[in-house]
A and B are shown apart, each in its own frame.
Chain A
Amino acid sequence: MIAVSDITKSYGNGDGKTQVLKGITMQINDGDFVVVLGASGSGKSTFLNVISGLERPDSGSVTYGSREITKLSDSELTQFRKDNIGFIFQQYYLLPNMTVENNVRMGADLAGNREYREIITAVGLEDKSRKYPSELSGGEQQRVSVARALAKKPKVLFLDEPTGALDEQTGRQVLDYICKLHKRLGFTIVMVTHNQNIAEMATTVVKMNSGKISEVSTNGRQKTAYEIGW
């Protein structure tokens, strides 16, 4: 379980100081599919960065099970991310000088995962494993990014607007891959998006507004990527 307790985060200093997170407290259960919704500037990406250990909060704590990651040193935090966390970003951030296979190996080698080719096949890219990112479409690149994140067998997968740069059909495809793998492998998902329809796929929906949680709701029945509107 991830327990977030009263976290605050500001950027800038003096008159230019902006408080982005204003005391957020919440819990995420193991295996949950949490969608964080909010308008641009609501603090949802910062929230994701803080709970995933990419950034440190100004105050408050983030605890995974019994381990408070906000107290870890940089090297301990790196080790923690290595053992537990996977990331998928809107801009993919693939390594341009590495093939699809090697991009996926970036995640797989960390977990000693020798079956990474199965994941490449699972995301439908087995025939493109020797291509470079620049030779792929946006949707294919995002699927590589999904495969890379899943190849390291994360316990928690963080997604920051994973369909933000994709068209509807490709976006649905990518979400479908993620959901199927989520059901099969049972990891926890925390996804940030501004697309309200995607929230219908989640077990828990967290709405953020001006650095605070304005609403938390749970879905009785989760829809698939092909059932939601876009």
Chain B
Amino acid sequence: MVVGMKDALKLIGISVIACCAVFVCTLFLNYNIDITAMKNEITMAGGIVMYNAIVSTGKVVSAVSGGCLAVTSVIMLLFYVKNYIDTHGKELGILKALGYSNFKISKHFWIFGLSVFIGCALGYAAAFLYLPSFYELQNAEHLFPEIKVQFHLYLAFLLVVVPTVSFAVLAVIYACFRLKKPVLDLLKEKHNYKATSSKKETKDMPFLKELTRSTVRGRKSLVFFIAFSAFCFSAMVQMSMSMNELASETMAVMVMTIGLILAFMTLFLSLSSVVKTNAKTIAMMKIFGYSERECNGAVLGGYRPVSYIGFAVGTAYQYFLLRIMVDIVFADVENIPEFKFDFTAFAVSLVLFIIIYELFMYIYSQRIKKLSIKSVMLE
């Protein structure tokens, strides 16, 4: 078998993200379906306004968090498939050389959908267990009649089966597309670097600076992930701290948890990949006498500016998203305070981000330190 269960289990990042997405979507969508069924029973004026606000919030939260997490999962899946094909070029090339068609090889990539199934199933089950408490929280002021948790088969189908099948199909199609390379390119694990036409581009730039630049430029997907992890951290942490007057504490904790999980998973995935893909470069640098500090700086240092850009974008994103929510969703709700940029939340999240990011960098620099020259060379 080309891709095994073991490979699918490495996609734990996708499972975690799928779990978060389905958890949030199940909570809000299940609640929305159940409360909509009781719409006629809500008679109090305050109840109707609250009903409208809750239904709109549910839609926005499901669309934003579900959509955002789904897009992340798709990008991660494509990244995993591409990475798998890049790092297993020899095995796949041999199969192609023996006469296996692209589709015959790529159809085994369906197994990557399994990671989505695990995440979605766990997320759905966890949300269903939490739904009674969530219903109570949503109706804390008893503006609505008591709502009982109902199981909706089509929702389960939509949130568990559809994503699983979609991701499995996507993995197969993308793998088939990536395998459309000449056999020799796969066998030689040939990289698509091409000679530069511009003479001034690399002129007199020190080797370490050039290496940093080329490491960052060479893996654009990693640049995205690192920026995205900073974006998630920044947006979700600041949003959860700023929304205490707009939503419940549970909601804030949920938003922060999702942000942290996303940030850690993407950062973990990206940095692991940076170290793995540069293992031979680092080993050669060590052989030639470059110090640990120089190796770390050249390979990991280039991503620092990227992460701070991600943090800045996340700050702007959360501010405008909350503004839009206040202006549109809570337009009819009274006593909603004017929303202002929360400088305390910004400062606290920035300090936390710097500490966590640098801690991650330190951990990965230790992994670089432990890279055995011989094991890398024997690969």
Residue positions of A touching B, CB distance < 8 A: 49, 54-55, 75, 78-83, 85, 87, 89, 91, 93, 95-99, 101-102, 105-110, 130-135, 152
Tell yes or no: B194 within 8 A of A by CB. Answer: yes
Give the A-B pair count, Cβ closer than 8 A.
Answer: 92
Query: Bound complex: CA of A106 vs CA of B280, how far in Å?
Result: 14
- The smallest C-beta distance from B102 to any residue of chain A, in angstroms, reads 22
Contacts of B291 in A (CB 8 A): 75, 78-79
B289 touches A85 (CB 8 A): yes
Question: Among the listed B194, B196, B207, B283, which residue makes an inter-chain contact with A106, where contact means beta carbons less than 8 Å apart?
Answer: B207
A98 touches B289 (CB 8 A): no
Contacts of A131 in B (CB 8 A): 195
Contacts of A54 in B (CB 8 A): 287, 373-374
CB 8 Å contact bits of B289-303 with A (1 = contact, 0 = none): 111100000000000
Query: Bound complex: CA of A95 vs CA of B288, how far in Å?
Result: 13
One of B57-65, B122-130, B209-217 contacting the partner: B209-217
Tell yes or no: B4 within 8 A of A by CB. Answer: no
Q: Can you list 20 residue pairs at the A/B interface with Cβ under 8 Å?
A: A54-B287, A78-B289, A78-B292, A81-B289, A82-B288, A85-B289, A93-B283, A96-B193, A97-B193, A99-B196, A99-B202, A101-B202, A102-B210, A102-B211, A102-B214, A105-B210, A132-B193, A134-B190, A134-B193, A152-B288
Most chain A CB within 10 A, of B192, B207, B374, is at B207
Q: Which interface class (under 10, 10 to 19, 20 to 34, 35 or more) fits B?
A: 20 to 34
Q: Which A-chain residue is minimally distant from B214 (CB atoms)?
A: A97
B190 touches A89 (CB 8 A): no
A135 touches B195 (CB 8 A): yes
Beyond the given A54-B287, A75-B292, please list 6 additional residue pairs across the A-B interface where CB-CB is below 8 A: A80-B289, A105-B206, A109-B206, A109-B207, A134-B190, A134-B192
Contacts of A105 in B (CB 8 A): 206-207, 210
Tell yes or no: B221 within 8 A of A by CB. Answer: no
Instruction: Report if A130-B196 is in contact (Cβ < 8 Å); known contacts: A49-B374, A105-B207.
Output: yes
Query: Bound complex: CA of A102 vs CA of B203, how far in Å?
Result: 10
Query: Bound complex: CA of A85 vs CA of B289, how far in Å?
Result: 8
Instruction: Report if A132-B211 is in contact (Cβ < 8 Å); known contacts: A54-B374, A75-B292, A78-B291.
Output: no
B194 touches A135 (CB 8 A): yes
Contacts of A132 in B (CB 8 A): 191, 193-195
- The smallest C-beta distance from B211 to any residue of chain A, in angstroms, reads 7
Tell yes or no: B377 within 8 A of A by CB. Answer: yes
Tell yes or no: B42 within 8 A of A by CB. Answer: no
Contacts of B195 in A (CB 8 A): 99, 130-132, 135
A87 touches B288 (CB 8 A): yes
Query: Bound complex: CA of A13 vs CA of B19, how far in Å?
Result: 43
CB 8 Å contact bits of B210-235 with A (1 = contact, 0 = none): 11001100100000000000000000
Tell yes or no: B253 within 8 A of A by CB. Answer: no
- The smallest C-beta distance from B171 to any residue of chain A, in angstroms, reads 26
- The smallest C-beta distance from B65 to any residue of chain A, in angstroms, reads 36
Q: Which B-chain residue is minimally distant from A96 (CB atoms)?
A: B191
B377 touches A89 (CB 8 A): yes
Q: Which B-chain residue is minimally distant from A158 (CB atoms)?
A: B287
A95 touches B286 (CB 8 A): no
Contacts of A80 in B (CB 8 A): 289
Query: Bound complex: CA of A55 vs CA of B188, how far in Å?
Result: 29
- The smallest C-beta distance from B50 to any residue of chain A, in angstroms, reads 57
- The smallest C-beta distance from B90 to any residue of chain A, in angstroms, reads 14
Tell yes or no: B316 within 8 A of A by CB. Answer: no
Contacts of B289 in A (CB 8 A): 78-83, 85, 110, 152
Query: Bound complex: CA of A89 vs CA of B283, how far in Å?
Result: 13
Most chain B CB within 10 A, of A80, A93, A135, is at A93
A102 touches B292 (CB 8 A): no
Contacts of B281 in A (CB 8 A): 95, 97
Query: Bound complex: CA of A134 vs CA of B182, how far in Å?
Result: 14
- The smallest C-beta distance from B242 to any residue of chain A, in angstroms, reads 41
Query: Bound complex: CA of A193 vs CA of B285, how far in Å?
Result: 24
Tell yes or no: B284 within 8 A of A by CB. Answer: yes
